[in-house]
Amino acid sequence: MKPVLEVKDLSVTFRTEDGKLSAVDRVSLEVGDGEVLAVVGESGCGKSVTAMSIAGLLPRTANVDGSVKLDGTELIGADKRTLRSIRGREVAYIFQEPMTSLNPVFTVGHQIGEVLRTHVGLSRQAARARSIELLKLVGIPSAERRVSDYPHQLSGGMRQRVMIAMAVACDPKVLIADEPTTALDVTIQAGILDVLRGLRERLGTSIVLITHDLGVVADLADRVAVMYAGRVVETAQVHELFANPQHPYTAGLLGASPAAGRHAETHRLNEIPGLVPLLSEQPDACTFADRCPRAVDFCTTSQPQLTTGQHQVACWNPVREPVEV
């Protein structure tokens, strides 16, 4: 199957007062048609920067190398007009914070309609009718009335549903959801995850799900890429990754995640000692080595590359036996 989105050797560096910061280091990802790829990692691992570079949303201080192809069209270095026609139409983006992403002075109907008028050339009336349809699609009750609401009249969950409606207005090939439920309560989160699942099933939208929450990954993803300090350290089908994590970081992360019914007896969570390294120059070594319980001499002198195949891992001494978590 040909991937819809193909990211190859993507590197992003930022010029700052403290010198060059390497946020993303030769990341390669593929997303198939109708597939949900979760990119998971902790703060500063580069997951959001990766997502933003796919959508061409990074500021000028960012230096992006490598290739991002959407259905064969190269996006890195593409001119403004190409990007404008793709952004919002072929690649759509949902941000974490729905309140700051919506314009407070326009009704939600106006804001969804704007997307349709700009990209599809719908008339004002047709755009309104389509906006109502979209609000229904994302599960907003009494959509006919809600379409005239301003963002402040909606709850956080509703606002995120509106953001999703805007994002899928033009039936994008790829939807990038950057921590779409992090700012929401769990009872609201469950509804939003349901909406995303429905979009994939009904519209066949490919989704790149950026998250730090392994529960969300387990709920929605088909495949998972685990990022650490700017690099992809492991990627596999979701069931395989949770059952047989091979990178010690993935295994550590799974053990550290609290989950109801799992830690009551042990009264302890697994810890990952140490700190995430600073994003200066990427060393020629495994960036996880100094926190890794399985590190060998080799790890500090040579950078492991991702293996090939269905389950890929970048580690000199991967976990082979199934881990109890």
Partner 1 sequence: MEQFALEVEDLVMHFGPVRAVDGVTLRVRQGSVVALVGESGSGKSTVGRCIVRLLEPTGGTIRLADADVTHLNRRQLRPHRRDVSIVFQDPAGSLDPRLSVGDIVGEPLRLMRRKDIPAKVSEALRRVGLRPEVANRSPHELSGGQRQRVSIARALISEPRLLVADEPTSALDVSVQAAVLNLLADLQRDLGFACLFITHDLSAVEYLADEVAVMYLGQLVEQGPRARIFGVPAHPYTQALLSAAPVPDPAEQRARKPVLLGDDLPSAIDPPSGCRFHTRCPVAVDKCRTVVPESRVIGEGGHQVACHLVSDDGTGPDVRTVEGATP
Rg of the chain over all Cα atoms, to the nearest angstrom? 21
Task: Choose the binding region for partner 1 from 116-124, 126-134, 181-189, 310-318 (rule: CB under 8 A).
Answer: 181-189
Q: Which of 238, 251, 279, 313 binds partner 1 (CB under 8 A)?
A: 238
Interacting positions 39-78 with partner 1 (CB under 8 A): 42-43
| 54 Cβ contact partners less than 8 Å away, ≥ 6 residues apart | 5, 7, 68, 75, 91, 174, 176, 208
Task: Choose the binding region for partner 1 from 4-12, 105-113, 265-273, 316-324 (rule: CB under 8 A).
Answer: 265-273
What is the distance in angstroms between the CA of the first residue and the CA of the last residue of the chain? 33
Q: How many residues bind partner 1 (CB under 8 A)?
A: 52
Give me the phi and psi of 37, to 5 degrees please: -100, 125
Q: Which is nearer to partner 1, 32 or 156 (CB)?
A: 156
Per the CB < 8 A criterion, the answer to whether 50 and 99 are in contact is no
Q: Which of 29, 39, 158, 306 binds partner 1 (CB under 8 A)?
A: 158
Which residue pairs, CB below 8 angstroms and at least 24 apart, start in 255-262? 255/323, 255/325, 257/214, 257/215, 259/215, 262/325
Q: Which of 87, 117, 119, 212 binds partner 1 (CB under 8 A)?
A: 212
Q: How far is the CB of 200 from partner 1 (least distance, A)?
A: 14
Q: Which of 63, 270, 300, 307 binds partner 1 (CB under 8 A)?
A: 270
Q: How far is the CB of 140 from partner 1 (least distance, A)?
A: 8
Query: Which residues are at the interface with partner 1 (CB under 8 A)?
Result: 42-43, 141, 155-158, 161, 185-191, 193-194, 212-219, 221, 238-239, 242, 252-264, 266-273, 275-276
